[in-house]
């Protein structure tokens, strides 16, 4: 049976909730008096459909049905979850709950997306306060897992437990808070940072761009994978969290922020933090935490590198300045020999559960080697922008030896054929003298417009032919043209 | 000619600097009176050597020479960069500079890792104040690119420009500040968050673990790729940054943080922020920024998924609950037919500059299909933990059609041979009825101890034989046993 969610109030947040439920297979019924609501939710859904399903390594259920309704009473019909995302005015929210509760199932969860109001405030004038909880998500709702689930004693145990289960089912991470506070947890940090940032701009210390770089090139990368305390636990090292806090205690009286109202760093507070940190992270040694952190950071940095953005762009700029590999045929020292097309260390994120470089990364390295060979014969980014490129039609890899993260590998490439639409390559991958793998690849030149085979332009065909001619004098590689199972 | 850096004060920060310079090919000379300095720096270097070189897609230069020295005068000999990371006591730092400046080159950069002191304070009693700048890095120094480079008028133009070039050369991102302020920029935000967090723990609102989840499951993911202002620019949508700030102005007077000293939100301040944001991000439309953000977030989330950590672990828990694919032979509905081994959407981070799924990701999907087939015949994580596994020896892929992000693909797998040490598989990849690729794979069972071929245990051999027998009645797949270039 398909579950139904009601979305009260569209916009970016309501639309994000709609996407979460729809793409998890729920039917979604929307109420929003804004005549633009359908368009706005459609835009959020477009973004969600391109990004969310691929996050999982298994197919999500088929999408549910999306419908728009003119009356709240109609929208909540059959809903077991009702998400309210109307503007942040307490009177408005209370009025919405009164209307909702005349029509909705008495055991449906009513979640509020409020950033600031406490659940007790929302429950204030309600017919059934036990039904109402805070479910505060983060934009983009369809990608970020966090939901602050804030409850009061009136909610009892059953409804919050059901809410947690449903939030997990739709792919979110409910953080349950039973002590309520203005702005919950996360937005308090954001508000503190925001106020500090306003001072910096007002005082002419830094611009918005400089402030953003100070975040995303440094602690922002850390916070994508470990929070404040786990990060500082590592910084404290073997001396431990207690030592770290005591050591940094004096800073609290220094003018390091405009926030000068600080709690006394009593023994009780220090003990509470140290004990909580032990409970949170004590299952790992500091050395283990360092390596987990570094694996995560390498993964994030390399991901951003592939997107050519932020800290990843910094890495790309540096790589582009490297002259370790030829960028054109003129730069190849000796075209009569196989060409060096990859020379790199194996990244931490290329290894798998077997502890060695994963098979797909062999093809990634060979793919990089092919890209470099293409660049060398003139099929570079500028050429591709004119509408021609080579697509791989066929690949044959022989895995001959293992290799581990950090080791240096290189790939040398022989052109077996480089005439007409075809480019037939043979790659050897080495670590030192050790042959790790060979890759044989048949590529076809294509028009990026028609996506069909086409002749390369002379600016590519000629250098490729020159290299192929030079390589024709080399012996045919052992293993070229071999088939699996044929010996 | 090899450049030389002097590291004054080892520890985690000094060690991180040593790693940055060494792995960029510099000679590094260390002075630290701590008898443990060599061990401590060695530990940081171990971490750096496993993580840093693989960040780049080209090989770094060969490592420079690392040496330890008993006298500061000896350590700075020949150094063009001197990095001071001694404890945060102004008198101590000033004394260090006086000693340094008696011996070091007058045009060497003296960078201080200080978190809190302003450059004018450091320059205070120096013989040559123009040589001294703040270069404040972030832990782990060998991975995080940010360095706050804070200068005063005394530094002139040449030395800061040289410092920026060197920092970029060793892979870092210098953020140049010419207006000095206690704690620079980033640590002011950290300090504000730290103080707010102390209140929350003291007041019993949240534990260290809950605070960390509130960070890394939500805004921490955003801040790894865009900072405060670019993120809010997107939240403001087409209405723009000015509208966003005005709308959230009232929050500044609400008790959303203990930080209640806020600047007046004057028109001047609003204009400054809106104009700076235009200069920073105005080259992208809001829609473009949304897509850039989503691409980055998907990449980060999928990276953390591969590490099974934080927000990525949330995704894995959900995937493991999926019953879309069989987990054992008993769960395969009809073993006489090829087995469904992959069913998923193509993630955003699997596409490349040609706009379609990258060739290496075909092998990743086929590798996942092989892993699933292994799991189905009993070669699962538990079995692998006992010391046996299959390694791929040979792969043959035919790329028949393109596929784009978001599309659903599935892989069906036929066992061609499953006897003795061999497992010979044939995968078909489809999008709907469209055949995208085939993958033929020869795997060999190995002992993970000897890394040599070995017989699988009966718990694997028997189900595999049963599946191979059932599949033996299927026709041999078109393309099986084919070689490249042979028609």
Q: For B128-143, how does the pLDDT look when each residue is reduced to its tens digit (9 = 90+)? A: 999 999 999 999 999 9
CA atoms within a 13 Å half-sphere pointing along the CA-CB vector of A323:
3
Predicted structure pTM score: 0.92
Question: Which whole-number Å values give the CA distances from B64 to A135, A187, A345, A482, B29, in the listed order?
Answer: 54, 46, 17, 43, 10
CB proximity under 8 Å: A 331-350 to B = 343-350
Contact with chain A for residue B68, Cβ under 8 A: no
Give the pLDDT of residue A11.
87
CA distance B439 to B369: 10
CA distance A213 to B410: 41
Give the pLDDT of residue A236.
81
Give the pLDDT of residue A290.
92
Contact with chain A for residue B399, Cβ under 8 A: yes
For residue A36, give every residue at least 6 positions away whose Cβ sits within 8 Å of its Cβ, in sequence order, or none.
none
CA distance B38 to B34: 8
DSSP string, A153-200: GGGTTHHHHHHHHHHHHTT-EEEEESS--TTTTHHHHHHHHHHHHHHH
CA distance B374 to B329: 10
CB proximity under 8 Å: A 167-206 to B = 168-169, 171-173, 175, 177, 179, 181-183, 185-206
At A74, list the tokens: 């109609």
DSSP string, A64-132: --EEEESSHHHHTTT-SEEEE---S-HHHHHHHHHHHHHHS-TTSEEEE--SS--HHHHHTT-SSGGGE
Give the pLDDT of residue A487.
46
Q: Which domains does chain B have, with CATH numbers?
A: 4-177 (3.40.50.720), 186-291 (1.10.1040), 322-472 (3.10.129.10)
Give the pLDDT of residue A485.
74
Question: Which whole-number Å values give the CA distances from A15 to A53, B244, B315, in the listed order?
Answer: 16, 19, 21
CA distance A344 to B219: 33
Give the pLDDT of residue A252.
65
B103 CA to chain A: closest CA distance, Å? Answer: 33
CA atoms within a 13 Å half-sphere pointing along the CA-CB vector of B232:
24
Please choose, from the candidates A106, A92, A94, A108, the residue with its C-alpha nearest in 3D space to the C-alpha of residue A29: A108
CB-based contact A189 B197, cutoff 8 Å:
yes
Give the pLDDT of residue A253.
63
Give the pLDDT of residue B257.
58
CB proximity under 8 Å: B 17-56 to A = 43, 47, 49-51, 53-56
* DSSP secondary structure code for residue A259 in this structure: -
Q: Which of chain A's residues have a Cβ under 8 Å away from the Cβ of B34?
A: none
SS3 A292: helix
Strand segments (E) across A263-314: none
Candidates A203, A218, A395; nearest CB to B186: A218
Give the pLDDT of residue A170.
96
CA distance B335 to A431: 42
Evaluate whether B132 touches B126 at the Cβ level (below 8 Å). Answer: yes
pLDDT per residue of chain B (487 residues) written in tens, 0 to 9: 799 999 999 889 999 999 999 999 999 999 999 999 999 999 999 999 989 999 999 999 999 999 999 999 999 999 999 999 999 999 999 999 999 999 999 999 999 999 989 999 999 989 999 999 999 999 999 999 999 999 999 999 999 999 999 999 999 999 999 899 988 999 999 988 988 898 889 899 999 999 999 999 999 999 999 999 999 898 887 777 887 777 776 666 665 555 656 677 788 888 888 888 888 898 998 889 999 999 999 999 999 999 999 999 999 999 998 888 999 999 999 999 999 999 999 999 999 877 799 999 999 999 999 999 999 999 999 999 999 999 999 999 999 999 999 899 999 999 999 999 999 999 999 999 999 999 999 999 999 999 999 999 999 999 999 999 999 999 999 999 988 875 4
Residue that has been written with the tokens 């990095």 in this structure: B83
CA geometry: angle A111, B218, A119, nearest 5 deg: 30
Q: How many CB atoms lie within 10 A of CB A333?
A: 8
SS3 B457: coil
Give the pLDDT of residue A409.
97
Please choose, from the candidates B199, B327, B356, the residue with its C-alpha nearest in 3D space to the C-alpha of residue A448: B356
CB-based burial, A67-106: b 16+ in 10 Å, e otherwise: ebbeebeebbeebbbbbbbbebeeeebbebbeebbebbee
Predicted ipTM?
Answer: 0.92
Q: Which of chain B's residues have a Cβ under 8 Å away from the Cβ of A402?
A: 391, 451
pLDDT per residue of chain A (487 residues) written in tens, 0 to 9: 799 999 999 889 999 999 999 999 999 999 999 999 999 999 999 999 989 999 999 999 999 999 999 999 999 999 999 999 999 999 999 999 999 999 999 999 999 999 989 999 999 989 999 999 999 999 999 999 999 999 999 999 999 999 999 999 999 999 999 899 988 999 999 988 988 898 889 899 999 999 999 999 999 999 999 999 999 898 887 777 887 777 776 666 665 555 656 677 788 888 888 888 888 898 998 889 999 999 999 999 999 999 999 999 999 999 998 888 999 999 999 999 999 999 999 999 999 877 799 999 999 999 999 999 999 999 999 999 999 999 999 999 999 999 999 899 999 999 999 999 999 999 999 999 999 999 999 999 999 999 999 999 999 999 999 999 999 999 999 999 988 875 4
DSSP string, B346-405: PPGGGB-TTSSB-HHHHHHHHHHHHHHHHHHTT-SHHHHHTTEEEEEEEEEEEE-S---T
Question: Which whole-number Å values give the CA distances from A16 to A21, A52, A160, A221, B405, in the listed order?
Answer: 9, 11, 21, 24, 20
CA distance A407 to A403: 7
Mutate: best of B11, B61, B223, B286, partner A, most A CBs <10 A: B223
A434-447 sheet: strands from edge to edge:
A339-345, A408-417, A422-431, A434-447, A388-399, B388-399, B434-447, B422-431, B408-417, B339-345
CA distance B401 to B398: 9
């Amino acid at each position: 049976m398909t579950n139904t969610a009601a979305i009260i109030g569209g916009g970016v947040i309501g639309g994000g909730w709609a996407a979460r439920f729809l793409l998890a297979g729920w039917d979604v019924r929307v109420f929003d008096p804004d005549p633009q609501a359908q368009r706005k939710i459609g835009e959020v859904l477009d973004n969600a459909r391109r990004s969310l399903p691929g996050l999982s390594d298994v197919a999500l259920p088929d999408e549910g049905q999306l419908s728009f309704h003119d009356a709240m009473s109609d929208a909540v019909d059959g809903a077991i979850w009702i998400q309210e995302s109307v503007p942040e005015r307490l009177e408005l929210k209370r009025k919405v709950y009164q209307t909702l509760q005349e029509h909705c199932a008495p055991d449906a969860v009513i979640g509020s997306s409020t950033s600031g109001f406490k659940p007790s405030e929302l429950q204030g004038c309600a017919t059934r306060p036990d039904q109402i909880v805070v479910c505060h998500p983060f934009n983009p709702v369809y990608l970020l897992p966090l939901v602050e689930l804030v409850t009061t004693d009136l909610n009892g145990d059953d409804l919050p437990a059901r809410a947690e289960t449903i939030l997990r089912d739709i792919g979110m991470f409910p953080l349950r808070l039973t002590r309520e506070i203005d702005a919950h947890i996360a937005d308090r940090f954001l508000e503190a940072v925001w106020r500090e940032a306003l001072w910096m701009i007002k005082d002419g210390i830094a611009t918005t761009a400089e402030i953003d770089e100070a975040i995303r090139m440094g602690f922002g990368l850390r916070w994508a994978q470990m929070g404040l305390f786990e990060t500082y636990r590592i910084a404290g090292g073997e001396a431990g969290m207690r030592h770290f806090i005591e050591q940094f205690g004096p800073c609290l009286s220094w003018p390091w922020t405009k926030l000068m109202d600080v709690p006394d760093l009593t023994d009780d507070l220090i003990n509470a933090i140290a004990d909580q940190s032990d409970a949170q992270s004590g299952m790992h040694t500091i050395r283990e935490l360092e390596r987990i952190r570094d694996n995560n950071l390498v993964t994030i940095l390399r991901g951003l590198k592939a997107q050519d953005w932020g800290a990843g762009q910094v890495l790309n700029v540096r790589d582009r300045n490297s002259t370790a590999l030829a960028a054109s045929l003129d730069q190849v020292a000796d075209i009569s020999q196989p060409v060096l097309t990859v020379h790199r260390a194996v990244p931490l994120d290329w290894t798998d559960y077997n502890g060695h470089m994963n098979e797909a990364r062999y093809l990634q390295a060979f793919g990089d080697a092919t890209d470099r060979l293409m660049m060398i014969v003139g099929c570079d980014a500028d050429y591709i922008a004119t509408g021609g490129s080579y697509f791989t039609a066929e690949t044959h890899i022989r895995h001959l030896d293992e290799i581990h993260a950090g080791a240096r590998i290189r790939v040398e490439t022989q052109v077996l054929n480089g005439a007409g639409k075809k480019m037939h390559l043979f790659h050897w991958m080495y670590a030192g003298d050790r042959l790790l793998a060979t890759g044989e690849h048949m590529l076809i030149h294509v028009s990026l417009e028609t996506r069909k085979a086409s002749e390369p332009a002379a600016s590519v065909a000629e250098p490729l032919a020159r290299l192929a001619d030079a390589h024709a004098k080399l012996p045919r590689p052992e293993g070229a043209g071999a088939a699996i199972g044929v010996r």
